[in-house]
Amino acid sequence: MFYLSIAIGLSIQYRSFHQAKYLNSSWALSGGIFSKVAQLDQYLNLDQTNQLLIEENKLLKQQLYNIKYTSRDSLSFPFEVIETEVVKNSYRLNRNYLTISAGTDDGVTQDMGVTNPLGIVGIIEKSSAHYSTVQSILNVRSRINAKIASSEYFGSLIWDGNDPTIVQLIDIPNVAQIQKGDRIVTGGMSSIFPEGIPIGSVSSFELNKAQSDYIINVKLFNDLRALRTTYVIVNKDQKEVQQLDSISESR
């Protein structure tokens, strides 16, 4: 065995064909090892990569929500975005809620809008120091200002308690032009959600009993049964707008 090893070594050293075969085998082996190591390293860094993507998405959303306010100094933009995680979620009830991992210590308070990368999720109802409950749009008490993206007609987004993938847009006047597939977005007529956040597309529609308004079924872009990362929208102008609204309503 000793002499056989010496013979193989000399053969590799002095014969170019054997040497090339040996080097190719070595490279193949080491290349395979390096590839596995790289894959393992990539897997171990997935959380870090995902966090960077979430942070980038948060900044992009913040820029998008403030696009109408580009004339302002960036420090006075009304909208900020806070990244959160869903720790509890219900969608099988008539009144569904979520719990998210951000509270008053993070700047989250009642009546703030909640979204994710695909669209709206709900509105903050209560907050503790570190957690908040969110009234899901899959809640029969939910009522959110929304509109047809291709027109200025807006109404109220509600849920009839049936299909968790479909909500209803009501109070759209019968003169509105509607087609199946039209995009539905937030209307911007409240201080909770900026205008233009995606909600879903028209799947069907019909006139109400009085023939005055449409009842529109909206297929959600979002799957509210599978939520993880969400974003809370902080409107720094909200209190001022609400104070003006309350003064107007009291007259």
Model pLDDT for residues 33-56, shown as the tens digit of each residue: 544 544 545 444 455 556 666 666
Q: Which position has the token pair 């959160």?
A: 84
Please answer whether residues 69 and 78 qualify as being in contact, where contact means their C-beta atoms are separated by less than 8 angstroms. yes
Task: Report d(CA 209, CA 83) in Å as an integer.
Answer: 43
φ and ψ at residue 57, rounded to 5 degrees:
-65, -40
**Torsion sign (Cα): 8, 12, 13, 15:** positive
What are 92-106's pLDDT values in tens digits?
999 999 999 999 999
- Lookup result for tokens 């900026």: 194
What average pLDDT does this structure show over 183-191? Answer: 92
Give me the amino acid identity at 84.
T
Q: For the chain, count helices (H), then strands (E).
A: 4, 12
The pLDDT score that the predictor gives to residue 87 is 95
pLDDT at 34 (0 to 100): 44
DSSP-derived letter for residue 189 is -
Judge whether 97 and 71 are in contact, CB under 8 Å: no
Dig out the tokens for 148 from the structure.
């047809």
Candidates 157, 104, 171, 161; CA nearest to 132 is 104
Residue 226's SS3 state is coil
Structure tokens that stand for 29 in this block: 């082996």
Mean pLDDT (the chain) is 81
Nearest to 126 by CA among 142, 110, 137: 110
Burial group, residue 71, by CB count within 10 angstroms (0-12, 13-18, 19+): exposed
pLDDT value at position 47? 58
In the predicted structure, residue 3 carries a pLDDT above the cut 90: no
Would you say 138 and 159 are in contact if contact means Cβ atoms under 8 Å apart? yes
